[in-house]
């Protein structure tokens, strides 16, 4: 990840542990998609057939979504700190 935004100069470097929330966000989105797809298909597709695609998704999607979850976490932080009274 770049140390700062090339457009506005916003600093992406934060204190140790700041991006733990991004990991929770990543996990939450992955679990929500898994449940939204897995539960409706559980009645129609045999579990042995359904397990492998969902397991592959559970491994590959968080790796792909990692960068986006960090961006979302930074965006949420920026949004809520700008709303805070000064």
Q: Which DSSP state fits 11? A: B
Question: Does residue 13 belong to any structural domain of this protein?
Answer: no
pLDDT at 66: 94
Question: Does residue 66 belong to any structural domain of this protein?
Answer: yes
pTM of the model: 0.81
Residue with tokens 């991004």: 22
Question: Does residue 42 belong to any structural domain of this protein?
Answer: yes
Render pLDDT for 33-45 as a digit per residue (tens, 0 to 9): 999 999 999 999 9
pLDDT at 1: 76
CB 30, CB 58: distance < 8 Å: yes
pLDDT at 86 over 70: no
Residue 52: give the domain boundaries: 20-80
Q: How many domains are there within the chain? A: 1
Q: Average pLDDT, stretch 51-68?
A: 96
Question: Does residue 37 belong to any structural domain of this protein?
Answer: yes
- Work out the pLDDT band at 9, boundaries 50, 70, 90: confident
Contacts with 45 (C-beta within 8 Å, 6 or more apart), sequence order: none
Task: Please provide the average confidence, as pLDDT, over all residues in the chain.
Answer: 91
């Amino acid at each position: 990840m770049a140390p700062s935004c090339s457009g506005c100069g916003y600093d992406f470097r934060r204190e140790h542990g700041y991006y733990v929330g991004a990991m929770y966000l990543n996990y939450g989105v992955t679990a929500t998609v898994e449940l939204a797809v897995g539960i409706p298909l559980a009645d129609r597709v045999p579990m042995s057939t359904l397990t492998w695609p969902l397991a592959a998704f559970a491994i590959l999607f968080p790796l792909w979504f990692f960068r986006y979850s960090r961006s979302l976490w930074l965006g949420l932080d920026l949004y809520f700190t700008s709303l805070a009274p000064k």
